[in-house]
Structure 1
């Protein structure tokens, strides 16, 4: 039996409208943050005697809203703040002249930005600035390209795991076990490639594997959880959020404070951004500032797996209700 012509027409119109709409959304999500990359309240330290640092602070705040200045007593305190991931760098005023402390491991793009900004102001005063990289990026990935490139594969692995569990019909505890096992194996495989082979990760191997696996589980749980509650549409919704918002807003190539608001904030609420921040902490900063992103990923994973169990329970309950109505004997009249 052929489908009515008006249904074909509706599907044709929906396709013609939906594809350009998705293309426009993707272009906005990826191009907008890239075109508007600039420091916005970027945490930057200033260390030294108050009288000596006043002029430095005044120069740094000329670009309104670019930097959030935090004051430290001396160079040791500024170094500690950088290692704790409280600030991205610091300008230290010494007897030998100004000194710039950076952390290319936190963001090579930000470290380069700080060098340019401080060098321009120093050249205007006729002074030279000595730069010290307190937390250097690994020599095999000085620009952070490998770390940035890992965001998409991990997101795709999570989407694939969640979709696969849905397609093969796994439910309840079995679905949760499959997601946990797949995510753990992804974490181990990714750590083996990035740490053991490419040597672009330099922290504790198991902590990195755990961070990579948790990032995958957060995505796969969300995909499978929404699918358990909403059906196949749930896969599309969760995948769309991760791919069209999570990836471009993750700030893996720069820093959350370099993206226009609210992209930077939203990105850290989503698995790709939180996963990138957690991986930086455990790999380059001995676990500093790991709690926030780890909790974000844990919430995503817990809610996703909980939705998988809830969806399975709701599906199991439907036949019982149907059985109560269908098992009744028919009423004979007449």
Structure 2
């Protein structure tokens, strides 16, 4: 009996638990370690009272990155510009907490609990949601759940282009057209039907299309450089790591270090941040995410256009022809 089938069976037996363990680690470990890590928050009010409040935040070493503001108006502007997730304004009536549930419902709840716990006993804490999550998605569930389908759509586009043997400009145009249609379709569902995002319709469609294009281009580019193995590498980066490290369902500043930073360097995390910016904050702080997605897109399309692709199963290698003998 040949030992090759037995070896393949052993490889499958060992590989499946390894893949499951890796997937469980990438998804469960960050979720189990959610806590503020250099979370940008603001403090405003009279100097002496604001300094005391700032010191309370700083007692939790490494949890908060405190920004000082002169008054409530400056704190509100910083929240709307996505400089901070929230701010505490010291008033004679007690602390006034400003939040932005559109930036992260999880962070808003965390700040509410932290400020209420640190306030003097029997002192009411007034809370104002400066940039509220839409009524169609008050907990951010739709936005958090949208990244995996987008990652899968990009993966599918890059894989299909590779397996069909499309090359050069035809492959690039196929990726662009597919991503554009996905952006329009997803915006129609999340904006027009569910009401989960509420910004400019076409800007949201463009952000979603750019996210899918960055993922699809990267997968196709990796396949152009490394052959079919590149599709597996793309799945590891975009779906397994990119989706679980994106912080879309919570916030990048709540994930363990350096997971939060790594997630923002990958298209799913950058795409989630970009979508929040254009959907709720009029595009504030969108520049970094646009740059990240553009770089992944340019890398992928450049590889698709110029790399010498390894043959795929759809492209059988023709045997070399011997030159005819001459008399």
Q: Same-fold call, TM > 0.5?
A: yes
Alpha-carbon shift at residue 49 of structure 1 (Å): 1.8
Does 2:193 correspond to 1:197? yes
Relative to structure 2, which stretch is displaced further, 268-277 or 53-62? 53-62
Output aligned runs, 1:1-334, within 5 Å: 5-122=2-119, 124-312=120-308
Larger Rg: 1
Inter-partner Cα distance in structure 2 for 1:290 and 1:218: 16
| Residues 83, 135 of structure 1: 8 Å contact kept | yes
- CA deviations on 1:117-137 (whole Å, 9 max, x unpaired) are 001111x44311100000000
Aligned pairs, number: 321
Change (3 A) 1:313 1:18: closer
| Residues 172, 312 of structure 1: 8 Å contact kept | no
Which ranges in structure 1 are unaligned for 5 or more consecutive residues? 316-321
| Residues 224, 309 of structure 2: 8 Å contact kept | no
What is the match of residue 318 of structure 1?
Answer: none
Q: CA RMSD of the aligned region, Å?
A: 1.9
Inter-partner Cα distance in structure 1 for 2:310 and 2:197: 43
Q: Structure 2 length normalisation: TM-score?
A: 0.94
1:250 alignment partner, SS class: coil
Alpha-carbon shift at residue 105 of structure 1 (Å): 0.3
Change (3 A) 1:178 1:312: farther
- CA deviations on 1:256-300 (whole Å, 9 max, x unpaired) are 110001110100011110000000000000000010001101111
